[in-house]
Amino acid sequence: MLTIDNLHAGYNEIAVLHGMSLKVEPGQIVAVLGANGAGKTTLMNTLSGLLRAMSGEVLFEGQPIQNMLAESIVARGISHVPQGRRVFPGLTVQENLMVARTAATRKAPGGWDAALAQVHELFPRLKERKDQLGWSLSGGEQQMLAVSRALVARPKLILLDEPSLGLAPLIFEALFSAILEIRRREGTTFLVVEQNAEQALRVADYVYVMELGRIVAQGTPTEISRDPAIEKAYLGA
């Protein structure tokens, strides 16, 4: 579904990604692990069109998308859940979801009503909070809303940037359970970047480890959990 080949990207002509290459197959949950400063958020911003690639290629379903506008990438079927949630603080929960509607939302069976029902089933708390403003939600509720906003667009691929950051253990356990349920029901593919290696290894089908803008290890969760590159990436050993 997604192929990244020799990708270079960064800010103000200073490269952060140095020849990144990885693949995501349809229906997979692929995790990218790495410490702060590894380049994980730069990767996600480049894939979603928020940042222009310097060089290299990004193919989605066989078609190049590097340097496409963000709205065009969303229209292709990619939704981005950014680090820090980025919900609209002055809009209600319901309004935050409504602004995420796309042509795919309308064309899917049941349209907007079905998308909203799915969100409320996965995250009942959002139904209870539907008239609350975004700023008044807890961190966990904001993350639920950010994921739900991505779901409303009826994407084929969801990019999740540090979904467990700042969440209590019980909340991110529930969040990752929801991710597995979304994949089971919809066949949605996920690319997840995480610092929480233990949690990511539990849900991922395949794992890449990043260090300073490069892939330093890859494999199944079992293979990666035995790889000394994990210690190097997280502890600087």
> For domain 1-77+156-237, which CATH number applies: 3.40.50.10800, 3.30.420.10, 3.40.50.300, 3.40.718.10?
3.40.50.300
Express as a percent the part of the chain with pLDDT over 90.
38
Pairwise CA distance, residues 34 & 90, whole Å: 33
pLDDT number for residue 135: 86
Distances (CA, A) of 236 to 48, 61, 203: 29, 36, 25
Pairwise CA distance, residues 27 & 5, whole Å: 20
pLDDT number for residue 237: 46
Q: For the chain, give every domain's residue range.
A: 1-77+156-237, 87-155
Name residue 24's beta-bridge partners: 2
Give, for 58, the enclosing helix (H) or strand (E): strand 53-60
Assess whether pLDDT exceeds 50 at residue 235. Answer: no
Beta strand 189-194 with 206-211 is unpaired
Instruction: Kindly list the strands in the beta sheet with 2-11, ordered across the sheet, starting from the edge strand earlier in the chain.
Output: 14-24, 2-11, 53-60, 63-64
Ranges 5-19, 30-44, 127-141, 162-176: which has the least confidence: 162-176
pLDDT number for residue 229: 63
Beta strand 78-81 with 189-194 is unpaired
Tens of pLDDT along 65-95?
988 999 999 989 999 998 777 888 889 998 9
Q: For the beta carbon of residue 59, count every other beta carbon within 10 angstroms.
A: 15
pLDDT band at 236 (very low <50, low <70, confident <90, very high): very low
